[in-house]
A and B are shown apart, each in its own frame.
Chain A
Amino acid sequence: MAGLELLSDQGYRVDGRRAGELRKIQARMGVFAQADGSAYIEQGNTKALAVVYGPHEIRGSRARALPDRALVNCQYSSATFSTGERKRRPHGDRKSCEMGLQLRQTFEAAILTQLHPRSQIDIYVQVLQADGGTYAACVNAATLAVLDAGIPMRDFVCACSAGFVDGTALADLSHVEEAAGGPQLALALLPASGQIALLEMDARLHEDHLERVLEAAAQAARDVHTLLDRVVRQHVREASILLGD
């Protein structure tokens, strides 16, 4: 028989999950004291750290200042030890630039930038361990960090990835499923209003199946929202207790 069987006859995946099941998600807010906001998230074996500074004065070229809203600056990096083979990537390589631009688009849609004109919000995301779904973990970590910084947001963004194997839509892909080369869809969603902040797809997928894969990713993002909702409320409650409210 040929190749790896991503979906067994009984409907289980390589790691024992069902098609629409998420990996285990753990998250913490406020992990760094010197940053304005910070968060750490684990989605399965994918681990990401995010820190947020701002809103503060525009640094560097002042020509980038926007008179009516804040400038969102996002940078993505992955640690050399985050993948199976150790690799030192130079700053500004193609993947980092692309991921930074995607994160920036995502958070420009979510943050109420018009409240802080002529200022800058910095978001730095680092991946400590990569096991598939890197973009989704970065978005989820960064949205918790932005919340921790107290920056007003329209809604907080939840992201998830989805794939398509043997006529079935899979949610929250792992590295094995990504490496198999099937279609991969990454979705960032504002769950309260149902708006899509970012949508990206590679490989080929017939149009008839796109709706199903999109629905699987959206459902997974709403499930992520439920989990992050719990984390945020717990953090807010702890902050109240610590301050003796």
Chain B
Amino acid sequence: MAPPVRYCIPGERLCNLEEGSPGSGTYTRHGYIFSSLAGCLMKSSENGALPVVSVVRETESQLLPDVGAIVTCKVSSINSRFAKVHILYVGSMPLKNSFRGTIRKEDVRATEKDKVEIYKSFRPGDIVLAKVISLGDAQSNYLLTTAENELGVVVAHSESGIQMVPISWCEMQCPKTHTKEFRKVARVQPEFLQT
């Protein structure tokens, strides 16, 4: 039988640093671990190490894109040096508010960086998988990269409005008019597919 659930609130002292190590939802001060969220206390230990003390919330709170996260975004505008995108998902979690990001020309692909042309990689309205590489500075927001095989355009529409089919890593074709257009195409992994 599972032990009864212990609820804790911010400011509650959970244990000292010799009995456990702090996990998510906690903070440390003066050698003790305190809770910073209102939720259930969880302890997990592996290989006899110190148990990790964390506080888990039942309902998920607002998620922020972090460095290294795979995000799904929509291209909003392009120019010769970068593409502006709206971040819609972090992993598989939809965001309540969209965040703005930038994919620079140098971050589109890992090879032949000097030959990249933005309008041959993205078009406005495309859905792109990207990875966050920086939180950005005052002029821009999240800096994203698609310089991996699994990152790039996953959904694109042709000029006649039909969703195109990828035919290579840099080309997509319209199934109706058979027009070919250039895109930086993602090799989509099965875990990212949602039906």
- The total of interchain contacts (Cβ-Cβ below 8 angstroms) comes to 92
B167 at the interface (CB under 8 A from A): no
CB <8 Å contact, A229 and B40? no
B55-77, CB < 8 A from A: 57-62, 64
A6 at the interface (CB under 8 A from B): no
**Cα separation A235 to B7 with both chains bound (whole Å):** 10
Give the chain A neighbours of B64 by CB distance below 8 A.
Answer: 55, 116, 119
Give the chain B neighbours of A67 by CB distance below 8 A.
Answer: 135, 137
Q: How many of B's residues come within 8 Å of A, CB to CB?
A: 33
**Cα separation A154 to B136 with both chains bound (whole Å):** 27
Judged by DSSP, the binding face of A is loop
B36 at the interface (CB under 8 A from A): yes
- Of B38, B58, B137, which one neighbours A232 at CB under 8 angstroms? B38
A90 to chain B, nearest CB (A): 29
Q: How many of A's residues come within 8 Å of B, CB to CB?
A: 37
**Cα separation A65 to B135 with both chains bound (whole Å):** 11
**Cα separation A80 to B152 with both chains bound (whole Å):** 53
Query: Which residue in chain A gives the minimum CB-CB distance to B137?
Result: A67
CB <8 Å contact, B38 and A191? no
CB <8 Å contact, B61 and A36? yes
CB <8 Å contact, B12 and A118? no
CB <8 Å contact, B27 and A112? yes
Given contacts A117-B135, A118-B135, A152-B27, contact A147 B7 (CB under 8 A): no
A141 to chain B, nearest CB (A): 15
With A154-B36, A191-B11, A192-B12 known, 20 other A-B pairs at CB within 8 A are A36-B61, A36-B62, A55-B64, A67-B137, A119-B64, A149-B62, A151-B61, A153-B11, A154-B10, A193-B29, A229-B9, A232-B9, A236-B7, A236-B39, A236-B40, A236-B58, A237-B7, A240-B7, A243-B59, A245-B5
A-B contacts, 7 of them at CB < 8 A, read A67-B137, A112-B27, A149-B61, A152-B25, A156-B9, A237-B7, A245-B5
